[in-house]
Amino acid sequence: MNRRIKSCCSQLLHKACCCFLIMVCFLFLGSGCHSSNAPAVKTVRIGLAMYSQNDTFISAVVQEMEQLAREKESVSDLKINLNLADGQSNQTVQLEQIDRFLDSGCDVLCVNIVDRTAAAVLIDKAASRDIPVIFFNRQPVQEDLQRWEKVYYVGPKGEESGIYQGEIILEAWRKDQPDIDKNGDGTIQYVMLEGEPGHQDAMLRSEYAIKPLLKANILLEKLDSDTANWSRSQAAAKMKQWCEMFGEKIEVVIANNDDMALGAIDAMKEAGIAPLPAVVGVDATEPAIEALRKKELLGTVQNAPEMPGVLLELALRLSDPESSLEKMQIEEGHYIWLPYYKITRETLIQQEIEGF
Ligand code: BGC
Ligand code: CA
């Protein structure tokens, strides 16, 4: 009897085991089928190093890149890991961040370099791991870009923004000279707020902004110029001094970027200067467009609005061995030049009419 129960039990156990194994096989096969039908997700790891996260323009570029990356993910099989690092305006800190990106196995680097004369070390590090590097906004010297074929620069040509600023002032002068020439001496008395010393955009904008005026034989008197390091508060402090020194004599303020133009406006309002002189900036940041609408700013220059899209596109192509760079319009093997756009109240109205 006992033995019969035992053998009956062992038969039942045997059957149960068989059923379990069959079920496991089905589950396994089922899940295998499912995964072979699902789209393969490819992960692209982009290491993005900013010179400083506090920079108004740079943080806007990076935010837009993040947004575009999410949009790209939603229409493709890609997973885009955009890893950000804030260089805190310190080249040593940024180089450590680059080391970390390379050690963690990123596919491509996008670098807004702190010190644009120090790109060689960074390029050699990336080249030793065969990781392409895209510099943007802060342009390394040409010899450095030529150290390796997988190094690129994406950005606009600084001189173009300077010329547009000069043209904006010239157009306003031609349209209503007394409005600018407050003391009626036929000369433009101006001050210039410069960006960070050594930055290609600061140097080129300062040099080129007056060229259209000189070319049109407009007389210019530079009251003073100084750097305010792209910063609104530094520009306000500098402008406060100039208001005390020159007061109503200032007819035009040329600022290398919008943050500094807005800082100048802050200080002039504070000093009770009215009407405000003509102020021009570069970048077309949101607060600058607001100031333009309020007629506090005469004009600005949109700073390569295509940059976030082009950076993402190039980074994705470089991390895909099957992709070609043919359509990327790369000049001299390394450069992708982007346009600036002149922005005045008239162009804003025009854009609104055209439904932008
Ligand atoms: C922009 C500045 C910005 C700088 C940072 C320039 O092109 O006009 O607003 O601070 O780049 O590198
Ligand atoms: Ca004058």
Q: What is the pLDDT of residues 317-330, one digit of tens each?
A: 999 989 999 999 99
In 3D space, the residue among 51, 38, 49, 130 whose CA is nearest the CA of residue 89 turns out to be: 51
Tens of pLDDT, residue by residue over 50-64, are: 999 999 999 999 999
- Distance in Å from the first CA to the final CA of the chain: 91
57 Cβ below 6 A of ligand 1: yes
d(CA 142, CA 238): 33
Answer whether 303's CB lies under 8 Å from 283's CB.
yes
Task: Please give the pLDDT value at position 11.
Answer: 54
Ligand 1 pocket check for 94: Cβ under 6 Å: no
pLDDT for residue 272: 96
Q: Kindly state the average pLDDT of the residues 252-274.
A: 98
Q: Does the C-beta of 97 come closer than 6 Å to ligand 1?
A: no
| Mean pLDDT calculated for residue range 204-233 | 98
Of the listed ranges 31-40, 69-78, 161-170, 290-299, the one predicted with least confidence = 31-40
User: Span 84-101, mean pLDDT?
Assistant: 98
CA 31 / ligand 1 centre spacing (Å):
52
Q: Which residue has the higher pLDDT, 8 or 314?
A: 314
Helix, strand, coil percentages in the chain from 3-state DSSP, rounded to 5:
50, 20, 30
196 Cα: distance to centroid of ligand 1 (angstroms): 9
How sure is the predictor about 15, in pLDDT bands with cuts at 50, 70 and 90? low
Q: What is the mean pLDDT of residues 130-140?
A: 98
Token pair 């600023």 is at which residue? 165
Mutate to test the pocket of ligand 1, among 59, 230, 262 (most ligand atoms within 8 A of CB): 230
Rounded to the nearest angstrom, the distance between the alpha carbon of 301 and the centre of ligand 1 is 12
Q: According to the model, what pLDDT value does residue 266 have?
A: 98
Shortest-distance ligand to the CA of residue 201 = 1
Nearest atom of ligand 1 to the alpha carbon of 57: 9
Q: What tens digit of pLDDT does each residue of 67-80 get?
A: 999 999 999 999 99
pLDDT at 25 over 50: no
**At residue 164, does pLDDT exceed 90?**
yes
Indicate if ligand 1 lies below 6 Å from the C-beta of 266: no
182 alpha carbon to ligand 2 midpoint, in Å?
6
CA of 183 to the centre of ligand 2 (A): 5
pLDDT at 155 over 70: yes
Q: Report CA(235)–ligand 1 centroid distance (Å).
A: 14
Work out the angle at residue 204's Cα, subtended by the Cα atoms of residues 304 and 312, and round it to the nearest 5 degrees.
Answer: 25
Q: Whose CA is nearest to atom 6 of ligand 1?
A: 201
Nearest CA, atom 10, ligand 1? 230
The side-by-side arrangement of strands in the sheet containing 42-50 is 78-86, 42-50, 108-111, 133-136, 151-156, 335-338
Q: Please, which residues have CB less than 5 A from ligand 2, an ion?
A: 181, 183, 185, 187
What is the DSSP pairing of strand 341-344 with strand 299-302?
antiparallel
Backbone φ, ψ for residue 78 (5° rounding): -95, 145
In tens, the pLDDT along 168-187 reads 999 999 999 999 999 999 99
Q: What is the share, in percent, of the chain residues with pLDDT greater than 70?
A: 88
The closest residue, in CA terms, to atom 11 on ligand 1 is 137
21-29 average pLDDT score: 44
